[in-house]
């Protein structure tokens, strides 16, 4: 999943033909990462 920095739309990498947003043609795309929880042992 990618997020366009210009318009904020979220889309899958299957929708990419070039490295541009398919909605607004913005060139800056950010890869969306899933939220992860890190657990550490208590001391």
Q: What pLDDT score does 37 carry? A: 86
Q: What pLDDT score does 11 carry? A: 87
Q: What pLDDT score does 28 carry? A: 92
Q: Which residues make Cβ contacts (< 8 Å) with residue 11, sequence separation at least 6?
A: 1, 2, 4, 21, 22, 23
Q: pLDDT 10s digit of each residue in the chain, 43 long? A: 889 999 999 988 887 778 888 889 889 999 988 888 888 898 7
Fold exhibited by the domain 1-43: Rubrerythrin, domain 2 (2.20.28)
Strands 10-11 and 29-31, bridge-based pairing: unpaired
- pTM value is 0.66
Q: What pLDDT score does 40 carry? A: 87
Q: What pLDDT score does 6 carry? A: 92
Spans of all domains in the chain = 1-43
């Amino acid at each position: 999943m990618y997020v366009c920095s210009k318009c904020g739309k979220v889309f899958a990498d299957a929708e990419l033909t070039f490295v541009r947003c398919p909605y607004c043609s913005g060139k800056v795309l950010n890869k969306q990462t899933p939220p992860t929880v890190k657990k550490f042992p208590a001391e």
